[in-house]
Chain A
Amino acid sequence: MSSSDGGHGAHPGPHLAHHFETIEKQDYAVRLGMWLFLGTEVLLFAGLFLGYTVYRHFYYEAFHEASRHLDLWAGTTNTIVLITSSLSVALAYHAIKQNKTKTCAGLLIFTILCALAFLCIKGIEYHHKFEEGALPGVFYHFSEVTAPGANLYYTVYFLSTGLHAFHVIIGMSILIWILARVLKGEFSSNNYVPVELGGLYWHLVDLVWIFLFPLLYLI
């Protein structure tokens, strides 16, 4: 039940769990835990990247053609949106380390709005695909790309961007939860590790997209 702050100032330190000796050890442990979890997420997406690599190799024509038909402006905008949201969440972490709670909250709100923007743009793209008939597998009836294996391109496209969008939603939820705690005044320069961890997850979401974007849109 001890706090790292010996009663100094208005901000208590983080809660030290009974089985950790010091706050430093606890912080090290939660960061290591988060990095391990990020490692598992990398391997989760690895399978889809594998599918992409395999089928792009065998159906290069189709992949090349189909990639031309994606909405490049949407993809580029989304990339910019995500990179900017990575910046804002890194700045939010920086702010809370300096006790700037309001700045932190504002930056988190901006990040969450970026996430929403990403999802909206993705939604518009998906809508286009439904209209064109550029759908995965058996539903494929896109007349403009007819090379063999085109349906597999869209399979990989929808699976990868779908799983990624799912992770955007998870990341957004985590950030909303962190934002709520920031607004309640729970975090300060004495206690900010959860903000860091939420940010780390969000950066992973950005990382996956940094690879998905060129592989899907620019080949």
Chain B
Amino acid sequence: MAHEPAHTEAGKAEHHGHGAGRYWLVWAILLACTGLTVYTGHYHPNIAVALIIATFKASLVVLFFMHMTEAPGANRLVFSVSLVFTLVMMAGVFGDLLTRNPMSLPGAAPPSEFQPR
């Protein structure tokens, strides 16, 4: 282990570019965001705020811990497309639920009015 040629070590450091410091920084920001989301969720619950913070945290994990900033385009496309189709699924279902006849919505009548099987 001690006889690695010097040029390869230096070459490797160049290749990596960054040290471990950025991981610690991201970790600190993630913890801060967690604190923020607990605070806002507990005292001023708001789903939009919670989702924004969560998306920000997730982006940090994806970009830095998962090295998406250095990843080839194909990998980025794959992950983004899977997120897009998740949203497509939600949009389609919500489009239905928000525009349906209110009688056929879940929760329209109290469950006690149905005969449980």
Contact = CB atoms under 8 A, between A and B. Distances in A.
Q: Do A and B come from one complex?
A: yes
Would you call the interface of chain B mostly helix, strand, loop, or mixed?
Answer: helix
A86 B64 CA distance: 11
22 contacts: A8-B5, A9-B5, A10-B1, A32-B74, A35-B71, A35-B78, A38-B78, A38-B79, A39-B78, A39-B81, A43-B86, A50-B93, A54-B97, A59-B107, A76-B38, A83-B34, A86-B27, A206-B61, A213-B34, A213-B37, A215-B50, A218-B50
Interface in A57-107: 57-59, 64, 72, 76, 79-80, 83-84, 86-87, 89-91, 94, 97-99, 101
Given A10-B3, A35-B78, A84 B27 contact: yes
Contacts of A200: 66
Contacts of A210: 54, 57-58, 61
A90 B31 CA distance: 16
A211 B54 CA distance: 6
Main secondary structure of the interface of A (DSSP, over half): helix
Nearest to B15: A97
Contacts of B107: 58-59, 148-149
Contacts of B20: 91, 94
Given A43-B85, A50-B93, 12 more contacts: A8-B8, A54-B106, A59-B107, A83-B27, A94-B16, A98-B16, A148-B110, A149-B106, A214-B51, A218-B50, A219-B45, A219-B50
